[in-house]
Structure 1
Amino acid sequence: MAVTLADVAARAGVSSATVSRVLSGNYPVADATRNRVLRAVDELEYVVNGPASALAAASSDLLGILVNDIADPFFGIIASAVQGELEGRAYGGPVPQKLAVVCNTGGSPERELTYLTLLQRQRAAAVVLTGGAVEDPEHSAALATRLRRLAAGGTRIVLCGRPPLEDAATAREARRGTSKRTASSAPVRSQGAAGAVLTVAFDNRGGAHALTTHLLTLGHRHIGYVAGPAERTTTRHRLEGHRAALEAHGGLDADRAERLTVHGGGYDRSSGYEGTRELLRRAPETTAVLAANDTVALGVCAALREMGLRVPQDVSVAGFDDLPFSADASPALTTVRLPLHEAGARAGQLALGTLPPPQDGMAAMGHELVVRASTAPPRAGG
Structure 2
Amino acid sequence: MAVTLADVAARAGVSAATVSRVLSGNYPVAGATRSRVLRAVEELEYVVNGPASSLAAATSDLVGVLVNDIADPFFGIMASAVQSEMEPEKAGGKLAVVCNTGGSPERELTYLMLLQRQRAAAVVLTGSAVEDPGHAEALAARLRRLAAAGTRVVLCGRPPLPEAGGDGGQGGGKGAAGAGPGGTGAPLTVAFDNRGGARRLTEHLLALGHRRIGYVAGPAERTTTRHRLEGHRAALADHDRDHGRDLLTEADRLTVHGAYDRSSGYDGALELLRREPGLTAVLAANDTVALGVCAALREAGLSIPGDVSVAGFDDLPFSADASPSLTTVRIPLHEAGARAGRLALGRESAPPGDVATVRTELMVRASTAAPRTD
Same fold (TM over 0.5): yes
Gap regions ≥5 residues in structure 2:
169-174
Measured in 2, the distance between the counterparts of 1:96 and 1:351 equals 14
Please list the CA deviations of residues 233-264 of structure 1 after superposition, one character each: whole Å capped at 9, or x if unmatched: 00000000001111111245544110011111
Structure 1 equivalent of residue 29 of structure 2 = 30
In the TM superposition, residue 18 of structure 1 has moved relative to its aligned partner by: 3.7
Whether the aligned pair in 1 keeps the contact of 2:177 and 2:185 (CA below 8 Å) is no
**Alignment-derived partner of residue 232 in structure 1:** 222
RMSD (CA atoms): 2.1
SS at match of 1:259: coil
Alpha carbons of 1:337 and 1:143: their partners in 2 closer, same or farther (altered >3 Å)? same
Residue identity matched to 1:282: R
Q: Look up the match of 1:146.
A: 142
How many angstroms does 1:141 deviate by? 1.1
2:365 aligned residue (369, 372, 377): 372
Instruction: List per-residue Cα deviations over 1:265-289 (Å, max 9, x = no partner).
Output: x110000000011111111221100
Whether 1:356 and 2:349 are equivalent positions in the alignment is yes
Q: Counterpart in 1 of 2:171?
A: none
After superposition, give the CA deviation of every residue in 1:151-196 in whole Å (9 maximum; x if it has no partner).
1111000000000113897449xxxxxxxxxxxxx86278513974
1:119 aligns with 2:115: yes
Task: Verify the 8 A CA contact 1:79 1:102 in the aligned structure 2.
Answer: yes
- Contact 2:67–2:125 at 8 Å: present in 1 too? yes
Residue 74 (structure 2) aligns with = 74
Alignment of 1:262 with 2:256, yes or no, is yes
Contact 1:301 1:317 in 2 (8 A): yes
Please give the alpha-carbon distance, in whole angstroms, between the structure 1 residues aligned to 2:186 and 2:176: 11
Cα deviation digits, residues 297-354 of structure 1 (max 9, x gap): 0000000001111000000000000000001101000000000000000001011122
Q: Per-residue deviation at 1:88?
A: 6.3
- 5 Å-filtered alignment, 1:1-382, equals 2-25=2-25, 28-32=27-31, 33-87=33-87, 95-166=91-162, 170-171=166-167, 188=177, 192-193=182-183, 196-251=186-241, 253-264=247-258, 266-380=259-373
Mapped to 1, the partners of 2:57 and 2:327 lie a distance apart of: 47
In structure 1, runs of 5+ residues without a counterpart are 173-185
**Structure 1 counterpart of 2:172:** none
The Cα shift of 1:97 comes to: 2.0
| CA positional deviation for 1:49 | 3.5
State whether residues 317 and 375 of structure 1, in contact with CA within 8 Å, keep that contact through their aligned partners in structure 2.
yes
Contact in 2 for aligned 1:23/1:56 (Cα 8 Å): no
Distance 1:296 1:225, change over 3 A: same
Q: CA deviation at 1:29?
A: 4.9
The TM-score with structure 1 as length reference comes to 0.89
Question: How high is the sequence identity, in percent, across the aligned residues?
Answer: 75
Aligned equivalents of 2:294 and 2:285: distance in 1? 13
Change (3 A) 1:374 1:325: same
Q: Which amino acid aligns with 2:29?
A: A
TM-score, normalised with respect to structure 2: 0.91
AA aligned opposite 2:270: R
CA contact under 8 A between 1:271 and 1:299: conserved in structure 2?
Answer: yes
8 A Cα contact 1:156 1:195, kept in partner: no
Instruction: State the secondary structure of the residue aligned to 1:331.
Output: coil
Q: Distance in 2 between matches of 1:279 and 1:53?
A: 57
Contact 2:236–2:248 (8 Å) recurs in 1? no
Contact 1:200 1:364 in 2 (8 A): yes
